[in-house]
Amino acid sequence: MPSFQDLGLLGLFLGNLLAATILPFSSDALYIAILAATGRPLACFLVGTAGNWIGSLITYGMGRLGKWEWIEKWFRVKPETLEKQKVKVDRYGVWLALLGWVPIIGDVFVLALGFYRTRFLPTSLLLLVGKAARFLVWNLLVAAAM
Contact call for residues 52 and 17 (beta carbons, < 8 A): yes
Contact call for residues 114 and 59 (beta carbons, < 8 A): yes
For the cut 70, the answer to whether the pLDDT of residue 113 exceeds it is yes
Contact call for residues 127 and 57 (beta carbons, < 8 A): yes
For the cut 70, the answer to whether the pLDDT of residue 1 exceeds it is no
Provide mean pLDDT across the span 87-98.
89
pTM for this one? 0.88
Q: What are phi and psi of 2, to 5 degrees?
A: -70, 150
The percent of residues in the chain predicted with pLDDT above 70, rounded, is 98
- pLDDT value of residue 9: 93
- pLDDT value of residue 2: 62
For the cut 90, the answer to whether the pLDDT of residue 83 exceeds it is no
d(CA 77, CA 105): 18
